[in-house]
Amino acid sequence: MVDRADINAVDDAAWEQAVAREAVIRRLASKAPPNRAEFLKACRDLGLKRSRLYELISAYKARPVASSLLAAQVGTPTGSRRLPDEIEAVISGAIEEFYKSLQKPSINALQKEVRRRCSQRGLRPPCWTTLRDRVAAIDPAELMAAREGAKASRQRHHPVSGSYHVERAYEVVQIDHTLMDVIVVDRVHRKPLQRPWLTLAIDVASRMVAGFYLTLEPPSALSVALAIQHLVQPKFDWLESLGIDADWPAEGLPETIHVDNAKEFRSKAMKRGAEEHGISLQYRPIGAPHYGGHIERLIGTMMGAVHLLPGSTFSSIKDRGDYDSVGKSAMTLDELEHWLALEITRYHAERHRSLGIPPVAAWNEAYRWREAPLRRPYDPEGFRIDFLPSTERMVRRDGIHLFGLRYWDDVLSLWAGRQDRQLRVSYDPRDLSMVFVRSPQGQRYAVRFADLRHPSITLAEHRRAQAILRERGRALEDEDLIFAVIEEQRALVDAASIRTREARRFSERRNRALDGVGAYETEDADPEPKESENVLRDHPGFEVEEWS
């Protein structure tokens, strides 16, 4: 159990200060004792007294994450707003609908528009300086894009690209998704399902594949989180479980993760999770696909090999010709994952055209350029949970309610009905039977369904059940009814999976999702006895004390 602040609830200004401190203090903490000149320079750069910097170094050594460097807030946070919510809504609406327009109205014109809107609602209008400050807080690039167009904004504010030179292993890792050019079959009936999605990561310095995640679900924050977990964790045990004897040394925390602007890469959990562990997120400029050239070329290399598999859809209808991709499909998702792992290890061992040497040799050279070994997650279990989707919930007297489902654990009795603030609740969409609750003190607790008789379900199943109840005009908050509908759905899907492709697809997604959450499972301390065992007959009995 690790005490930590709720990184999603920290004020942005305080968090940015902690992130800036972490980049400097990480270097000082790695040296014992720190260089005096570097230490004094750090004091000046961070605006700290020497005694305070020593305290922060000690705190960082005890917990090497950015949140350990958060400063205690005193008084009203900087940048906080004191106007009523109704007036703030009027100001925001006027800026979005009136000020951010091609007519480029002035702040004086904005003030008149705000006065008009406040008068209609019977509100007291804000002063001119308030509107000036609100406009000054807008991102200049965003404002210019709204008032002059995206092209003008890019030309004015976006940096001029130069050469992209990376030397150190895991200095930059690029991540992207692709829809694989092959159709997979289900595990039970081995009939066609769909094209799977691949999330792939590459180490730019060595061109080594850093990690990947294969799924039937469209790209999401979860698929990104699982790909990041794979690139960070050691690969030896995973390769051994597949029966693959190969060297795949890529592991550890990257310095920078380079991604595009898809919404799954911009989630708050992804941003705060990366910053918490000292990882910088770098977004590809909009309209500049060449910025992700390394990962795009790797995807092209992998898809070229996929085109030789049965059930390949090739890159286009013209390339496919008369080939029957659906009829020729033969591999399950598990088999495709095994094949992909073999293909990646083969790619690592072959000479890379741009580098002139195999990626595994390039990794060894790039690793020598590192001044320090790659960092590992301070709290591996917390690292996985930091990237999961999360929300805030109050602890009611009967537990926590999420998606119309009720969760309870005895530890919640500490805050049930008495806590005036919401707690951070993280969840895995693959299995809603357990959530992870962070206490006000930063401790994390696993909390299961209040009714342990309920089976594990996926978020997709839950949403489908709610849609059915909505069509029937029934209450969406009836937990027993939700599970009854899910059981009814499962029976129908299992019965129809032999006949229809869509039913097989949903069944396969459900089964793979529930099979993929073993990282959170704990072994049963008292396993159930085998059916053939007679527990009472074989028990030695207990000592009995007689009283006269």
87-139 pLDDT per residue, tens: 889 999 999 999 988 888 999 999 999 999 999 989 889 999 888 988 988 88
Query: Can you tell me the distance from the alpha carbon of 419 to that of 437, in angstroms, rounded to the nearest whole number?
Result: 14
Q: Would the pLDDT of 140 be above 50?
A: yes
Q: Which amino acid is at 214?
A: L
What single-letter DSSP state applies at residue 485? H
Q: Would the pLDDT of 48 be above 70?
A: yes
Q: Helices (DSSP H) in 137-255: which residue ranges?
A: 140-148, 150-157, 221-232, 236-241
Query: Can you tell me the distance from the alpha carbon of 98 to that of 105, in angstroms, rounded to the nearest whole number?
Result: 8
Residues forming a β-bridge with 399: 396
pLDDT of residue 499: 60
Query: 146 — phi, psi (to 5°)?
Result: -75, -35
pLDDT per position as a tens digit, 299-353: 888 998 998 899 999 888 888 888 898 888 889 888 999 999 999 999 999 999 8
Query: Can you tell me the distance from the alpha carbon of 35 to that of 37, in angstroms, rounded to the nearest whole number?
Result: 6
pLDDT of residue 46: 86
More confident residue, 5 or 533: 5
pLDDT per position as a tens digit, 348-391: 999 998 889 999 999 999 999 888 899 998 888 888 888 888 88
Secondary structure string (H, E, C) spanning 68-113: HHCCCCCCCCCCCCCCCHHHHHHHHHHHHHHHCCCCCCCHHHHHHH
Query: Can you tell me the distance from the alpha carbon of 525 to that of 95, in angstroms, rounded to the nearest whole number?
Result: 60
Query: Can you tell me the distance from the alpha carbon of 65 to that of 383, in angstroms, rounded to the nearest whole number?
Result: 11
SS3 523: coil
pTM of the model: 0.61
In 295-404, the DSSP E strands lie at 390-393, 400-402
Q: Which long-range contacts (C-beta less than 8 Å, at least 24 apart) are formed by 329-332?
A: 329/182, 329/183, 329/184, 329/185, 329/192, 330/185, 330/190, 331/182, 331/184, 331/185, 332/184, 332/185, 332/186, 332/187, 332/190
Q: Would the pLDDT of 537 be above 60?
A: no
Averaged pLDDT, 2-25: 78
Q: Which amino acid is at 490?
A: R
Q: How confident is the model at residue 78 (pLDDT cuts 50, 70, 90)?
A: low
Q: Would the pLDDT of 74 be above 70?
A: no
Other beta carbons within 10 Å of 327: 11
With a pLDDT cut of 90, the percent of the chain lying above it is 26
Residue 266, H or E segment: none
Averaged pLDDT, 433-443: 89
Q: Would the pLDDT of 442 be above 90?
A: no
For the beta sheet containing 173-179, the strands, ordered from the edge strand earlier in sequence to the opposite edge, are: 209-215, 197-203, 173-179, 256-259, 280-283
Q: Would the pLDDT of 54 be above 90?
A: no
Whether residue 33 is preceded by a cis peptide bond, meaning omega within 30 degrees of 0, is yes
Residues forming a β-bridge with 343: none
Most confident segment among 281-290, 419-428, 475-484, 536-545: 419-428
pLDDT of residue 548: 47
pLDDT of residue 461: 80
Averaged pLDDT, 501-506: 68
pLDDT of residue 5: 61
pLDDT of residue 1: 34
Q: How confident is the model at residue 191 (pLDDT cuts 50, 70, 90)?
A: confident
Given the DSSP bridges, would you call strands 405-408 and 400-402 parallel, antiparallel or unpaired?
antiparallel
pLDDT of residue 182: 92
Q: How confident is the model at residue 482 (pLDDT cuts 50, 70, 90)?
A: confident
Query: 199 — phi, psi (to 5°)?
Result: -105, 120
Query: Can you tell me the distance from the alpha carbon of 364 to that of 367, in angstroms, rounded to the nearest whole number?
Result: 5
Averaged pLDDT, 289-298: 73
pLDDT of residue 318: 83
Q: Which pair of structure tokens corresponds to residue 247? A: 């060297």
pLDDT of residue 288: 57
Q: What is the mean pLDDT of the chain?
A: 82
Q: Would the pLDDT of 34 be above 90?
A: no
Query: 192 — phi, psi (to 5°)?
Result: -60, 140
More confident residue, 518 or 250: 250
pLDDT of residue 526: 46
Averaged pLDDT, 426-444: 88
pLDDT per position as a tens digit, 193-207: 889 999 999 999 999
